Amino acid sequence: MAAKKEMIDQAIERRQHCLNTSESDRALMIEYIREFVELKRGNQILLARESGIPQSKISNLLNGTGTSAGMETLVILALAVKNIT
């Protein structure tokens, strides 16, 4: 039981660290995606094609409209930008 409690404590600590950095990570990735899209006409379409994320969802993310994109979506988009550039 003591070993299990220690594992739970470690898991909680890892999750708390993730929560503490998630907002700054989120803002950083959104800005990275925004810079790519605004760099050249057609980049949003290219990003949608490469990432598999619908163009409307990317547009909503960049305009701050609609439902907020999840962290998984942001990671997919940021990785796609990284692979394209």
- Residue 17 confidence (pLDDT) above 90: no
Local structure of 26: helix, strand or coil: helix
More confident residue, 45 or 3: 45
| Three-state secondary structure call for residue 67 | coil
Whole-number pLDDT of residue 54: 95
Q: What is the value of pTM for the model shown?
A: 0.78
With 90 as the cut, is the pLDDT of residue 51 above it? yes
Q: What is the dihedral of CA 49, 25, 32, 78, to 10 degrees?
A: -20
Give the mean model confidence (pLDDT) for residues 14-30: 84
Domains of the chain: 26-84 (1.10.260)
Q: On the CB side of 35, how many CA atoms lie within 13 Å of its CA?
A: 10
Residue 79 or 67, more confident: 79
Q: Which residues contact 12 (CB under 8 A, 6 or more apart)?
A: none
Average pLDDT, the chain: 90
The residue behind tokens 């299990």 is 4
